[in-house]
Amino acid sequence: MFPGFAQCQAIKNNLFKHTNLQIAFRPTNTTYQQLSQRRTNNNKPSGIYQLKCNTCKISYVGQLGRPITTCYKEHIRYIRQNNPMSAYAMHIPNNRHKFGPAEETLRPLKPCTKGTKMNCWEALYIYIYT
């Protein structure tokens, strides 16, 4: 939800009710964006992510400090190597569960850069999601 969302919904419902047009609103001035640090062009920035198991839908919160594709590959490698560094990585082989593609498995919660701030956000999101 963002400021003006309700108005957008109203416009959508009234103006386009009798058409087959699919309207999508893309807010450009959300609180989330205001609170986020400078955005990079990378659409998968470093930050706090939710990792989901494709089998039992259990989720883990973790911080990924490097570009996500790298981290994701790392996670997959952890899983293959049974590396205890990652709780998520342990969950998959321990329960013989499956991991999906990065787009389905990783959900960005908060983009931020590595450091104290990231640790705080991670702690907060772990608190929220567990």
Q: Is 112 in the site for Zn ion (CB under 5 A)?
A: no
Which residue, 53 or 109, is less far from Zn ion as judged by CB? Answer: 53
Residue 30 makes CB contacts below 8 A (sequence gap 6+) with 2, 3
- Answer for which of 27, 30, 50, 97 binds Zn ion (CB under 5 A) is 97
Report which residue type is found at 82. Answer: N
Q: Is 79 in the site for Zn ion (CB under 5 A)?
A: no
Residue nearest to Zn ion (CB): 53
- Answer for which of 45, 46, 48, 53 binds Zn ion (CB under 5 A) is 53
| Strand partners for 14 | none
- Shortest separation between residue 74's beta carbon and Zn ion, angstroms: 19
Burial pattern 83-103, b for ≥16 Cβ within 10 A else e, equals: eeebebbbbbeeeeeebeebe
Residues interacting with Zn ion, by CB under 5 A?
A: 53, 55-56, 58, 97
